[in-house]
């Protein structure tokens, strides 16, 4: 799999979440994703960017465009927040530490083809998602 391009976007405020959504849509469009697949990756990116800002205290998103046998978009969200004590619990529908519906991480996982999460208490969380064309 060849990495075509990579870029980083900061996520510190609501305006950065909007910028992440916009840039992910631009990249998905440029890669030729269908409207449905664009919507799925943008929705997933929006949820993870918001989590990065709210629960992680801010961080960044790295976007990688991939080409090889398949074309894809990989997004890596990183923060240095408090971490997630129980990842399996956090992935369950209905689990929330805030006022939301608790569909965030589990719902995000269902919107993408590949989903990976790692977290250490006191050291932050990294979520990597990939959507293939």
Kindly report the backbone phi and psi dihedral angles of residue 63, in degrees, each rounded to the nearest multiple of 5, phi listed first. -110, 130
User: How far out from the chain centre does Cα 3 lie?
Assistant: 18
- Which one, of 129, 119, 131, 128, lies nearest residue 55 by Cα? 119
CA–CA separation, 115 and 117 (whole Å): 7
DSSP H or E segment with residue 117? strand 114-120
Q: Residue 115: is its pLDDT beyond 60?
A: yes
Provide the terminal-to-terminal Cα distance of the chain, rounded to the nearest Å.
14
* Stated pTM of the model: 0.91
Q: Residue 11: is its pLDDT beyond 90?
A: yes
For residue 33, the domain's CATH number is 3.30.565.10
- Which one, of 14, 19, 9, lies nearest residue 61 by Cα? 9
Q: What is the pLDDT of residues 64-110, one digit of tens each?
A: 999 988 999 999 999 999 999 888 887 876 655 554 444 578 889 99
Instruction: Identify which has the larger pLDDT, 5 or 14.
Output: 14
Q: What is the pLDDT of residues 24-75, one digit of tens each?
A: 999 999 999 999 999 999 999 999 999 999 999 999 999 999 998 899 999 9
Pair type for strands 124-132 and 2-11: unpaired
pLDDT of residue 106: 87
Percent of the chain past pLDDT 70, that is, above it, reads 91
For the chain, how many structural domains are there in total?
1
The helix/strand/coil state of 111 is helix
The total of other beta-carbon atoms located within 10 Å of residue 118's CB is 14
Give me the domain span that covers residue 112: 2-132
């Amino acid at each position: 799999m060849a990495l075509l391009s990579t870029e980083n976007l900061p996520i510190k405020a609501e305006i950065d979440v909007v910028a992440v959504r916009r840039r992910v849509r631009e990249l998905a469009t440029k890669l030729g994703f269908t409207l449905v697949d664009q919507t799925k990756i943008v929705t997933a990116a929006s949820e993870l960017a918001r989590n990065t800002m709210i629960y992680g205290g801010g961080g960044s998103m790295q976007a990688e465009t991939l080409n090889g046998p398949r074309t894809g978009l990989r997004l890596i969200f990183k923060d240095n927040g408090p971490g997630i004590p129980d990842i399996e619990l956090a992935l369950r529908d209905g689990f929330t530490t805030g006022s939301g519906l608790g569909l965030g991480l589990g719902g995000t996982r269902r919107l993408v083809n590949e989903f990976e999460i790692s977290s250490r208490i006191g050291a932050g969380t990294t979520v990597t998602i990939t959507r293939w064309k």
